[in-house]
A and B are shown apart, each in its own frame.
Chain A
Amino acid sequence: MIVVDTGNHIAALAAKMAKPHVIAAYPITPQTTVVERLAQYVESGELNSEFIRVESEHSAMTACIGAAAVGARTFTATSSHGLLLMHEMLHWAALARLPIVMVNVNRAIGPGWNIWSDLNDSMAQRDTGWIQFYASSNQEIFDNVIQAYKIGEDERIRLPVMICYDGFILSHTSMPVEVPKQEEIDDFLNEYKSTWQLDINNPITHGNIVPPEPYLEIRYSMEKAMKEAKKVIEEVGEEFGRKFGREYRLVEEYRCDDADYVIVTMSALAAEAKIAVDRLRDKGNRIGLIKLRTYRPFPHEYLKYDKMIVIDRAFSPGLGGIIYSEMEMDGKEVYGFIAGLGGVDINYKDIEKMYEYAKKGKDGWYGIEVK
């Protein structure tokens, strides 16, 4: 069935269809309608979940951790400052290897107070051990949420997964989305069985002090899981494709064969960039696009082109664009543009201009250093 609805409502629908046992969330613009819709589902009886109303995002994540620790499937959603308040507990969830699924609606961080799209909130969580997906359409929001459970709960992975998408640009924009039948989702997602769980009949202790060497091993096992996640994400994406007709990998390559330049970006900007690529191709330019689907794990293996143009809607002060900073640059020409922070509108014409600048060897802050 095709429905036309906002990114937030689609995220809530996907979460509902994954049948989480526990939802704990705190509303924040522009995520609010995700939580509202889930609360309606629970209230109406359409969704049989325990909905825990919490007093902050830190508590929302803590409640999800507690629920996941007794073996429950969990869901939460947040944005911007809410995500930042969760930061400590994001580490906790990942180190405890709990496959919590969370939606983050990307929004700028204040002050200056700003509710519009900017990826700095979630990209700043890169070292917490969460798998991160970025969506370019409402369809991808739906598909990513469903796949997130299968990936995070895989015995080889057992890591939490964050599904990120642009505030307003996707969260409040209605688009058509193909929604599978509930039975098909049930069939795709296996029943979740946790590796370990808190059990009052079989008490065990958690949170004890861990000496240096075992701690090193814990961290190493997390890194191994994250590396393994690359394989699992592609396996799950392929299975999803067989079942639902939309196949996913770590990246989407668009018109990259024979390309002299390849644009590298993610989120809504990557959809807009397709138009720029088509228009530039029509004028005889050999240009392609790599849309990053995951930011963690980072898909270096797909970024092997000689000339790349990276567009970041986030930056690390004192270093530069965040994706740009993580590129392997040896022997390559890589241009970095920082664009669209705080919701500045970026259209395909702007992306075409960035390409023209890159050809002249220029890059930087789009709209300030280059216009």
Chain B
Amino acid sequence: MLKEIIFYGRGGQGAVTAANLLASAALKSGNRGVQAFPFFGAERRGAPVKAFARISNEEIFLRSQIKEPDIVVVLDTGIMDVIDVTAGLKKDGIILLNSYKKPVDFSFPYKVATVDATSIALKNDIRVGGIPVVNTPMVGALVRILNGVKLEALKEAIRERFGKIAEKNERAVEEAYNKVIL
């Protein structure tokens, strides 16, 4: 079963890293096919960015862009004013939002999940230049929604990638995993 995911965020929020962490965790969870890639263009800090991930239990031969995702992950709901994050989303698709609000507070014709990743990032002191970085808690929440990617595998991927700052990120993904509202 192929799952296609688009991460929407702003340059510097770590959307590309989020996609890569998910891909590593998915492989460690036993999926044979994984991909993670940025939107193919120039990126600037603060500007809206996209990143993509694919997960499958078989080798993936797709090399084209994701046009009809199963899940969209929104790291910064502010970009929803300028970007239609539901574009191409499959009928039974899911929107995962970084928000302190509840899913019922949003009126999308799709399943909505929310997690207050900004508060979780601040609480665990995950910041770059003082600004909270929400990518790891968002992946923690995403793993809860996805079938076939294990929380422990995500933590292992974080340990491999982050070294010294892994521990607080592990705490953040666990908290987000437990607190996401479906």
Residue numbers of A with Cβ under 8 A of B are: 2, 4, 115-116, 136, 166, 168-170, 172-176, 268-269, 271-272, 274-275, 343, 345-348
Contact B36 A269, beta carbon cutoff 8 Å: no
Q: How far is the CA of A86 from the CA of B125 in the complex (A)?
A: 48
- B13 to nearest A CB, angstroms? 18
Q: Which of A2, A174, A175, A348 is B64 in contact with, Cβ under 8 Å?
A: A348
Q: Please state if B35 and A174 are interface contacts (CB–CB under 8 Å).
A: yes
| Distance in angstroms between the alpha carbons of A269 and B63 in the assembled complex | 7
Given A173-B37, A176-B34; A2-B27 close (CB under 8 Å): yes
**Which A residue sits closest to B16, measured CB to CB?**
A172
Among A4, A170, A343, find the residue whose CB has the most chain B CB atoms closer than 10 A: A4
Q: A172-B40, A174-B23 are in contact. Are A271 and B34 (CB under 8 A)?
A: no
A275, B42: Cα distance in complex, Å? 29
**Which chain B residues border A176 with CB–CB below 8 Å?**
27, 32-34
Is B147 interfacial (CB 8 A cutoff)? no
Residue contact B34 to A275, C-beta cutoff 8 Å: no
A-B contact pairs, 24 of them (CB 8 A): A2-B27, A4-B27, A4-B34, A115-B42, A116-B40, A136-B63, A166-B63, A168-B37, A168-B38, A169-B40, A172-B38, A173-B35, A173-B37, A174-B37, A175-B34, A175-B35, A176-B32, A176-B33, A271-B63, A272-B62, A272-B64, A345-B65, A347-B67, A348-B64
Residue-wise interface mask of B (57-70) relative to A, using a CB-CB cutoff of 8 A (1 in contact, 0 not): 00011111101000
Whether A272 contacts B40 in the complex (CB less than 8 A), given A174-B35, A176-B34, comes out as: no
- For A172, list chain B residues within 8 Å (CB): 37-38, 40
Chain B: residues with CB nearer than 8 A to chain A? 19-20, 23-24, 27, 32-38, 40, 42, 60-65, 67
Which residues of chain B are within 8 angstroms of A347 by Cβ–Cβ distance? 62, 64-65, 67
Q: How far is the CB of B32 from chain A (nearest CB, A)?
A: 7
- Taking CB atoms, residues of chain A closer than 8 Å to B20 are 4, 174
With both chains docked as a complex, state the minimum distance between the C-beta of A196 and any C-beta of chain B, in angstroms. Answer: 42
Contact A272 B27 (CB under 8 A): no
Closest beta carbon of chain A to B8's beta carbon, Å: 18
Nearest A-chain residue to B53, judged by Cβ:
A174
14 further interface pairs, Cβ-Cβ under 8 Å (given A176-B32, A272-B61, A348-B62)? A4-B20, A168-B38, A173-B37, A173-B63, A174-B19, A174-B23, A176-B27, A176-B34, A271-B61, A272-B64, A274-B61, A275-B62, A343-B40, A347-B67
Shortest CB–CB separation between residue B64 and chain A, in angstroms? 4
Partner of A4, one of B23, B38, B62: B23
Closest CB of chain A to B144's CB: distance in Å?
21
Listed from nearest, the 6 A-B pairs whose CB atoms lie closest are A347-B64, A173-B37, A268-B63, A168-B40, A174-B36, A271-B61
Determine the distance from Cα of A267 to Cα of B181 in the docked complex, in whole angstroms.
43
Task: Name the residue of chain B whose CB is nearest to the CB of A117.
Answer: B40
In Å, the complex CA distance between A170 and B62 comes to 11
Asked if residues A4 and B24 are in contact (CB atoms below 8 Å), the reply is yes
Most central of A115, A176, A271 by chain B CB within 10 Å: A176
Nearest residue, chain B, Cβ from A7: B37
CA distance A269 to B36 in the complex (A): 18
Min Cβ gap B29→A in Å is 12
Least CB distance, A253 to chain B, in whole angstroms: 16
Distance, CA A346 to CA B33, complexed state (A)? 20
**CA of A4 to CA of B61, assembled, Å:** 15
Q: Please indicate the chain B residues that have their CB under 8 angstroms from the CB of A169 in the complex.
A: 40, 63
Q: CA A184 – CA B77 in complex, angstroms? A: 49
Enumerate chain B residues within 8 angstroms of A136, measured Cβ to Cβ: 63
B37 touches A345 (CB 8 A): no
Kindly state the separation between the CA atoms of A328 and B33 in the bound complex, as whole angstroms. 37
Inside 8 A of B67's CB, which chain A residues have their CB? 347
B37 and A272 contact, CB distance less than 8 A: no
Residue of A with least CB distance to B40: A168
A206 to chain B, nearest CB (A): 43
**B64/A345 in contact, CB under 8 A:** yes
* Residue numbers in B under 8 Å from A166 (CB-CB): 63
Query: How far does the alpha carbon of A136 sit from the alpha carbon of B60 in the complex, in Å?
Result: 11
- Shortest CB-to-CB span from B20 to chain A, Å, is 5
In the complex, chain B residues whose CB is within 8 Å of the CB of A173: 35-37, 63
Complex interface: chain B residues within 8 A of A272 (CB): 61-64
CB distance from A199 to the nearest CB of B (A): 46
Complex Cα–Cα for A115 and B43 (A)? 13
Chain A residue contacts of B63, Cβ below 8 A: 136, 166, 169-170, 173, 268-269, 271-272
Residues of A within 8 A of B23 (CB): 4, 174
